[in-house]
Amino acid sequence: MTLMQPFKTVLDMQTGALQPTGPIIQRHLSDMQHMYLDQEAYAQILAVEGDRLIYEVYQAPGVPEVAGQILHGTTIIYPGCVGQEFHMTKGHFHAQRDRAEVYVGLKGEGHLLLQTEDGVVEDMPMRPGTVAYIPPLWAHRTVNTGEQPFSFLSAWPGDAGHDYGAIEKMGFAKLLVDQGGQVTLVDNPRFL
């Protein structure tokens, strides 16, 4: 391994932005076409309001994606729903399934949904200060269940990689929905 210089970034605790940052990933509604259950609501939002920004990811710059390194960054999920379903990330397994991750809640209110290959789901509410451990072999998705932006810090192994395909195909077995103002975990009728 070649020697690299230590460095730091500054986290804006109000917005969740990192400075300096690597490329910022923005995911809009159209990036998540088949992920929300209510396809009518999805089409209606696109037609009436346009392609809304669902979440952004800032990643600390210059960390090589290799074993031994620790990639890290922040995610900000903006508040809102598609139908009854709260705004969420796409969700993924790590391509190397035996790589773990740590999330630290920064601002706002959300949930971390975890799921095994067999479809077993864990639902973990997250607030500022929550330190969540995502063990190897669990897919993970975060959901903004509050009325403000929900942000968190993540750190994961440099060689973890991301596998989105499995979740795009199978979805999550449970959904977080707004039922009359109550955050409710329900079965996903489309779960394969």
Interface pattern 116-155 for ligand S6P (x via CB under 6 A): ------------------------x-x-----------x-
Give the pairing of strands 150-157 and 101-107. Answer: antiparallel
The alpha-helical segments, DSSP class H, found in the chain are 39-48, 165-170
Among 42, 86, 156, 172, binds ligand S6P (CB under 6 A): 156
Contact partner at residue 86 from Zn ion, ligand S6P, none, CB < 5 to 8 Å by partner kind = none
Q: Which stretch binds ligand S6P (CB under 6 A): 6-14, 62-70, 83-91, 124-132?
A: 83-91
Contact partner at residue 91 from ligand S6P, Zn ion, none, CB < 5 to 8 Å by partner kind = ligand S6P
Contacts of 39 (CB under 8 A, 6+ apart): none
Contact partner at residue 57 from ligand S6P, Zn ion, none, CB < 5 to 8 Å by partner kind = ligand S6P
Q: Which helix (H) or strand (E) holds 125?
A: strand 121-126
Residues that bind Zn ion (CB under 5 A): 101
Question: DSSP 3-state helix, strand, coil percentages of the chain (rounded to 5)?
Answer: 10, 40, 50
Q: Report d(CA 40, CA 86) in Å as an integer.
A: 15
Least distance (Å) between residue 150 CB and ligand S6P: 11
Among 54, 56, 73, 82, binds ligand S6P (CB under 6 A): 73
Copy the structure tokens of residue 16. Answer: 């969740």
For tokens 């809640």, what's the residue? 105
Toward ligand S6P, which CB reaches closer, 47 or 125?
125
Contact partner at residue 89 from Zn ion, ligand S6P, none, CB < 5 to 8 Å by partner kind = ligand S6P
Q: Burial level of 47, CB count in 10 A (0-12/13-18/19+)?
A: exposed
CA dihedral of 84, 89, 90, 91, whole degrees rounded to 10: -110
Between residue 45 and residue 64, which ones bind ligand S6P under the rule CB under 6 A?
A: 57
Count of residues touching ligand S6P (by CB under 6 A) = 13
Among 29, 101, 107, 108, binds ligand S6P (CB under 6 A): 101
